[in-house]
């Protein structure tokens, strides 16, 4: 078993801000949504085998605790890229064996990034 995609809720009319975050800043490729789902709004993205689907929720409330965690090789570079683009980065040291930080997407959803440790 594996995860097919991650679904995050976003508020109405926030797709452009989300595209900038997921595609331009994080480097995800935007996918074309199936035609029968386009009228609902939102956007779909992929980076390698990871898909993130953003769905518009009318009574939107950001996910402040539940969150996806993405493993990345260059965590410091990513943190710098996010801060350069006006996103706050919150480093967390509560797990001593993992370098990680949290940020919020444009909708306020919590996102975690964890460093991939090389064993060479």
Residue 107 has pLDDT above 70, yes or no: yes
The 10s digit of each residue's pLDDT in 34-61 is: 999 999 999 999 999 999 999 999 999 9
**Superfamily name and number for 6-115:** 2,3-Dihydroxybiphenyl 1,2-Dioxygenase, domain 1 (3.10.180.10)
Domain ranges of the chain: 6-115
Whole-structure pTM value: 0.92
Q: In angstroms, what CA-CA distances link 69 with 16, 20, 104?
A: 23, 19, 12
> What pLDDT score was predicted for residue 60?
97
For the chain, the three-class secondary structure string (H helix, E strand, C coil) is: CCCCCEEEEECCCCHHHHHHHHHHHCCCEEECCCHHHHHHCCEEEEECCEEEEEEECCCCCCCCCCCCEEEECCHHHHHHHHHHCCCCCEEECCCCCCCEEEEECCCCCEEEEEECCCCC
């Amino acid at each position: 078993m594996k995860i097919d995609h991650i679904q995050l809720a976003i508020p109405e009319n926030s797709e452009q801000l989300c595209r900038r975050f997921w595609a331009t800043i994080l480097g995800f490729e935007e996918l074309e949504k199936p035609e029968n789902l386009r009228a609902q709004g939102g956007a779909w993205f992929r980076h390698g085998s990871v898909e993130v689907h953003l769905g518009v929720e009318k009574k939107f409330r950001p996910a402040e605790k539940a969150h996806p965690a993405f493993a990345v090789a260059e965590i410091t570079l990513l943190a710098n890229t996010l801060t350069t683009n006006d996103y706050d980065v919150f480093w967390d040291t509560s797990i001593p064996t993992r370098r990680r930080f949290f940020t919020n997407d444009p909708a306020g959803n919590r996102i975690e990034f964890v460093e991939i440790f090389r064993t060479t």
